[in-house]
């Protein structure tokens, strides 16, 4: 049988197939991983522990043009990222102070199993060059994962509870951006946005740049270097601000670019995602196979400790 190299018709067919795959990838909505958590919940006649994510996150991702893929904090397997185009680290409970070498403050309420999950996903996403968007707690995860530290209770630092005024009540803040930054390109010189957190960035993590502050100095945005995989993290809650779809849309654009780049280098792989390479024995040689034991939180509780939103959650 003649090879396509010596068969013009076969070669032309291969080019046509490649073009069709590229066109399909260009119109495919990016698949975006979104972290979730576990909490007691009630619906209908049922009340039990559930995997939880506020619906605003899902609506935000869909509105921005992507497909959300929910990632529960149990049975973590970072190889799922091989099928995704980006990762969103969502808001929630405090990051455990052991992650940045501090003793817990009396008001800190952490969920170690969630930290295990999200720190593993973030590291794996960076290894794969995936775009990452951090939201509230997500910004704090990014900072701690890259060697930064946190103020564990902002009211003791600033003398105000304006960032978390009451249980279930969002504060409002104005963030002023750095000219030329990613966030400035998206929102302009400033943005007024809802916030709900009692912790904030203290020492900035390695390779991160502060590109927005509130008027009292709280760090509101961290960005990665422009020559590295796309990374942006905001301390506020864009999912609760219709104007902030711009922030998420910028992330989705980065995810779309990543997907198109993956498709361009993957030949006839119709999904446009990298697949694990294997040796003759079938072992994964790509470094992106199933999670190691260290990536699967062995201590994940059968019942998640409840976090009081008044005390320790960053929403």
- pLDDT tens readout for residues 36-72: 999 999 999 999 999 999 999 999 999 999 999 999 9
User: Catalytic site residue 239?
Assistant: yes
More confident residue, 234 or 161: 234
User: Catalytic site residue 49?
Assistant: no
**Which three-class secondary structure string do you get for the chain?**
CCCHHHCHHHHHHHHHHHHHHHHHHHHCCCEEEEECEEEEEEECCEEEEEEECCHHHHHHHHHCCCEEEEECCCCCCHHHHHHCCEEEECCCEECCHHHHCCCCCCCCCECHHHHHHHHHHHHHHHHHCCCEEEECHHHHHHHHHCCCCEECCHHHHHCCCCCCCECCECEEEEEEECCCCHHHHHHCCEEEEEECCCCEECCCCCCCEEEEEECCCCEEEEECCCCCCCEEEECCCHHHCHHHHHHHHHHHHHHHHHHHHHHHCCCCCCCCCCCCCECCCCCECCCCCCCCHHHCCCCCCCCCCCCCCCCCECC
User: Catalytic site residue 273?
Assistant: no
For residue 273, pLDDT over 60 is answered with no
For residue 272, pLDDT over 50 is answered with no
Query: Residue 89 has what pLDDT?
Result: 99
pLDDT digits (tens, 9 = 90+) for 247-263: 999 999 999 999 998 76
Out of 136, 195, 198, 240, the active site residue is 136
Out of 117, 197, 237, 240, the active site residue is 237
**Mean pLDDT lowest for which of 4-13, 170-179, 233-242?**
4-13
Query: Residue 8 has what pLDDT?
Result: 58
Mean per-residue pLDDT over the chain, rounded: 79
pLDDT digits (tens, 9 = 90+) for 88-104: 999 999 999 999 999 99
Query: Is 288 within 8 Å of 67 (Cβ atoms)?
Result: no
For residue 139, pLDDT over 80 is answered with yes
CA dist 21 and 263 (Å) reads 8
More confident residue, 315 or 59: 59
**Mean pLDDT lowest for which of 36-40, 158-162, 224-228, 308-312?**
308-312
**How does residue 234 score in pLDDT terms, banded at 50, 70 and 90?**
very high
Query: Residue 192 has what pLDDT?
Result: 81
**How does residue 237 score in pLDDT terms, banded at 50, 70 and 90?**
confident
**Mean pLDDT lowest for which of 99-103, 173-177, 240-244?**
240-244
Query: Residue 277 has what pLDDT?
Result: 36
Model pTM?
0.78
Query: Residue 109 has what pLDDT?
Result: 87
Out of 239, 240, 273, 295, the active site residue is 239
**How does residue 27 score in pLDDT terms, banded at 50, 70 and 90?**
confident
**How does residue 77 score in pLDDT terms, banded at 50, 70 and 90?**
very high
Domains of the chain in start order, with CATH, are: 50-295 (3.40.50.880)
Query: Residue 294 has what pLDDT?
Result: 35
More confident residue, 200 or 282: 200
């Amino acid at each position: 049988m003649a090879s396509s190299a010596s068969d013009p018709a076969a070669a032309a067919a291969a080019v046509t197939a490649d073009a069709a795959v590229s066109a399909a990838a260009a119109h495919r909505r990016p698949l975006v991983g979104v972290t979730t958590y576990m909490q007691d919940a009630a619906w209908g006649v049922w009340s039990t522990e559930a995997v939880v994510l506020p619906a605003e996150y899902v609506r935000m991702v869909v509105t921005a043009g992507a497909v959300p893929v929910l990632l529960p904090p149990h049975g973590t397997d970072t190889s799922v990222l091989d099928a995704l185009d980006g990762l969103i680290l969502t808001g929630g409970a405090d990051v455990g102070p052991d992650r940045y070498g501090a003793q817990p403050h009396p008001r800190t309420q952490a969920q170690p199993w969630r930290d295990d999950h999200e720190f593993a996903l973030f590291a794996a996403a960076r290894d794969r060059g995936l775009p990452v968007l951090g939201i509230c707690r997500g910004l704090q995860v990014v900072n701690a994962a890259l060697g930064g530290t946190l103020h564990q209770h902002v009211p003791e630092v600033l003398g105000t509870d304006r960032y978390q005024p009451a249980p279930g009540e969002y504060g409002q803040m104005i963030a002023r951006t750095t000219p030329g930054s990613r966030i400035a390109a998206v929102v302009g010189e400033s943005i007024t946005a809802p916030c709900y957190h009692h912790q904030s960035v203290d020492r900035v993590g390695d390779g991160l740049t502060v590109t927005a502050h509130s008027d009292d100095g709280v760090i509101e945005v961290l960005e990665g270097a422009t020559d590295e995989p796309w990374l942006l993290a905001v301390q506020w809650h864009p999912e609760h601000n219709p104007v902030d779809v711009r922030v998420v849309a910028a992330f989705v654009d980065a995810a779309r670019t990543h997907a198109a780049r993956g498709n361009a280098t993957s030949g006839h792989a119709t999904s446009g995602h990298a697949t694990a390479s294997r040796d003759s024995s079938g072992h994964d040689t790509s470094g992106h196979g199933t999670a190691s034991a260290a990536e699967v939180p062995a201590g994940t509780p059968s019942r998640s400790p409840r976090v009081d939103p008044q005390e320790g959650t960053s929403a």
